[in-house]
Structure 1
Amino acid sequence: MINLGSTFPNFEADTTVGKIKFHDWLGDSWGILFSHPSDFTPVCTTELSRVLQLIKEFEQRKTKVIALSCDSVESHLGWIKDIQSYSGGGDDSSFSYPIIADESRSLAVELGMLDPVEKDSKGMPLTCRAVFIVDPSKKLRLSFLYPATTGRNFDEILRVLDSLQLTDTKKVATPVDWKVGKQCMILPTVPDPEAKELFPQGFETVSVPSNKGYIRKVLP
């Protein structure tokens, strides 16, 4: 397993767009690597279709997306037409993001993505539904692990990406259920005089029984 804040492995892999070296492929963009258990399966098809529908949202956030499973490149290429069809985009020959073939499971092992419950016809473990968000400095910033039976919410993945990108540039944290355009919390490490300089539009301090004044809401 790789820890938050650690440099993400600069792996080489075969993909639907040829061989890549991860850091070179990422360049100066943010990146999302997400795994799925198997090609030509129902939940996985809905997920990769959803990513296809959201690709412009990721591009607006300067974020590249790449998928992964233990299937071959040949399998991925055959499955792509089903993904395109299910997404409602037809079966055009182009596809907006690569899919990694990890037949040896070397990446799945390195990144802790194997699901001990889900196995293929040969009894080999499959990849779970993992999500890794990597920033332009190649540091791991967020990870999720879902079981095979639970499809992911990619609107939530966009939401946490927005939070990461905002909190990298402002001295704020995003509260529960936060969305773009909503109030954030000023970091507790920022004293009030500095907060007044950073947020001249003003901020709201919420009264609580401790009277510590640490809950300060602001529109960044």
Structure 2
Amino acid sequence: MILILVKLFQGLYVSNSGEPWVEEAELIRRAQAGDPAAFDLLVERITPYLYRVVRRLASDQNEAGAIVQEAWLRAWRARHRYVADRPLSPWLVRIAVNVARDLWRKKAPLDFADLGGEEIVLPDPVPGPEDQLTRKEALERLVRGVKKLRPEYRMVIALRYDAGLSYKDIASALEIPLNTVRTHLRRAKSVLRLWMEAEDG
């Protein structure tokens, strides 16, 4: 599994296309029974999604890779506790969030004020090259802003917009009340809006 993860992150992994496609439920069943090859196939299929979510939580690519790797190791150890009739991705996201939390406990938290506020509205995409460049710059600024958020705000932003989880699934993954999810999202958006306005001068 570790070799597959390293190659995935380096862009060197090539799947064995000669193998027939196996449904995720069957791979999960085999992995829970201790089949490392089935688990490796799950790693191959789900790591790009999991990495995309974790990348938003992490301070850099190395940290994201370490979080994903540790999440998969914990998933392997906890595979018997996974309930097979539930979606696998949210379970893995919850594990990755816990890994990230463990990592952040070792670091000093960023200090941003808890602010209420409005949603950030980016301009609609338009075909002109100048407008496309402006939108790209706005998105890059938004990504920089997300990295400055408090960890709990980064988590809800990543789980909502990168993982596409519902508020209920976010609450379950983070083990917080549904209203807290809504509050964190609202405050995160407010902090981002103020940060972007301040950058505009």
TM-score range, shorter chain: under 0.3
Q: Which has the higher helix share?
A: 2
TM-score between both structures, scaled by the size of structure 2: 0.26
TM-score between both structures, scaled by the size of structure 1: 0.25
Q: Which of the pair has more CA radius of gyration?
A: 1
